[in-house]
Structure 1
Amino acid sequence: MRRHHVRTVVTAANATTAVGLLVAVLGGARVRRGRDGILIGEGYRRKAPPATCFTVGSVIMCRHSAEWLLADERADLFGHESRHAGQYAWLGPFFWPAYWTACLWSYAATGSWGARNLFERRAGLTAGGYPTDLPVRPWLTRLRGRAARREPTPPAGSPSRD
């Protein structure tokens, strides 16, 4: 069985695709078949989230048409969103708290929801339209510097260096 077939079956079994279909319907989108087991909720109309595309289960919500998303010049974007579908297959409904925790970390570290978000990095920052070269915020640099200057505490029962 090919990888995208497994992803499609698993996201159906863990109910994230069902949630994606509900989000599409509530967002005023028309659901169309994409490729590789992906469904596309084209014409998504809600203001939130503000992204052009986002994924829930094996459903990619898109403010444009399915043809727009499937065009050759947007193959990277489609691939990025498809990788999120794979993340849903691995984590199921646990994807949501894990993803939002990663968003909060990224925002605290850089001011961008995606630049240091593990899920966005693994899906491909550039393909998803995220900045790739944002430095960490000064507070984090200072915190890392302090941690690096601290001498590690020897384990209990080890000989002292006195």
Structure 2
Amino acid sequence: MRPRTRTVLTAVNGTTAAGMLVAKLTGARLVKGPDGIYIAEGYRFSKPPASCFTVGSVIITKRTAEWLLDERRARLLKHESHHAGQYAVLGPFFWPAYWVACGWSICLTRSFGVRNFFEKRAGLADGNYPEFEPLRPWVRRLLRR
């Protein structure tokens, strides 16, 4: 998806406004990033435990924008930007769809990301997720039948 299209769609569907609200309510500072992305730096809450997460076209991070924009984290920025594209398509429906996908992944494995459709599409390795997590024993038994 083109960055401009993504930016317009996440603005129209309200998810970027929601991301900016999360940033404001948590004391994070908004910084304009590349391709219509905003970076909310200095997020202070412990949940989620990841170094960053995305709401609309806002990437929220506990670190600084400079940290995220460093070329060594280009793959992580790409991963989070892909989530912004997912918000552009699904709008607020992304939240329940994402949590169902997390539940599915946890049900099958011990990871909320490995079997999560949205994380896989954004690139597991780019988001620092393991590429493989063994299936739970009950799932393996079921598949052997």
Task: Output the TM-score relative to the length of structure 1.
Answer: 0.87
Determine if contact 1:60/1:81 at 8 Å carries over to the other structure: yes
Report the counterpart of residue 68 of structure 1 in structure 2: 67
Report the counterpart of residue 84 of structure 1 in structure 2: 83
Report the counterpart of residue 18 of structure 1 in structure 2: 17
C-alpha displacement at 1:141, in angstroms? 1.6
Letter of the structure 1 residue corresponding to residue 105 of structure 2:
S
Cα-to-partner distance string for 1:25-72 (whole Å, 9 max, x where unaligned): 112100000001100000111111111000000000011111110010
Question: 3-state DSSP class of the match of 1:36?
Answer: helix
Letter of the structure 2 residue corresponding to residue 138 of structure 1:
P
Question: 3-state DSSP class of the match of 2:120?
Answer: helix
Determine if contact 1:24/1:30 at 8 Å carries over to the other structure: yes
Larger Rg: 1 or 2?
Answer: 1
In structure 2, how many angstroms separate the alpha carbons of the residues matched to 1:93 and 1:122? 18
In structure 2, how many angstroms separate the alpha carbons of the residues matched to 1:84 and 1:125? 12
Question: 3-state DSSP class of the match of 1:19?
Answer: helix
Letter of the structure 1 residue corresponding to residue 48 of structure 2:
P
C-alpha displacement at 1:104, in angstroms? 0.6
Q: Percent identity?
A: 62
In structure 2, how many angstroms separate the alpha carbons of the residues matched to 1:143 and 1:121? 24
Report the counterpart of residue 56 of structure 1 in structure 2: 55
Letter of the structure 1 residue corresponding to residue 8 of structure 2:
V
Does residue 128 of structure 1 match 2:140? no
Unpaired segments of 5 or more residues in structure 2? Answer: none
In structure 1, how many angstroms separate the alpha carbons of the residues matched to 2:42 and 2:61? 6
Report the counterpart of residue 113 of structure 2 in structure 1: 114
Larger % of helix: which?
Answer: 2
Report the counterpart of residue 29 of structure 1 in structure 2: 28
Report the counterpart of residue 156 of structure 1 in structure 2: none
Report the counterpart of residue 102 of structure 1 in structure 2: 101
In structure 1, how many angstroms separate the alpha carbons of the residues matched to 2:142 and 2:25? 43
Unpaired segments of 5 or more residues in structure 1? Answer: 147-162
Report the counterpart of residue 140 of structure 1 in structure 2: 139
Instruction: Give the number of the structure with larger relative contact order, counting CA–CA contacts within 8 Å between residues 6 or more apart.
Output: 2
Structure 1's consecutive aligned runs of 4 or more residues displaced over 2 angstroms after TM superposition are: none
Determine if contact 1:28/1:46 at 8 Å carries over to the other structure: no
Cα-to-partner distance string for 1:69-102 (whole Å, 9 max, x where unaligned): 0010000000000000000001001000000000
C-alpha displacement at 1:138, in angstroms? 1.3
Q: CA-atom RMSD, angstroms?
A: 1.0
C-alpha displacement at 1:144, in angstroms? 2.2
Report the counterpart of residue 155 of structure 1 in structure 2: none
Question: 3-state DSSP class of the match of 2:59?
Answer: strand
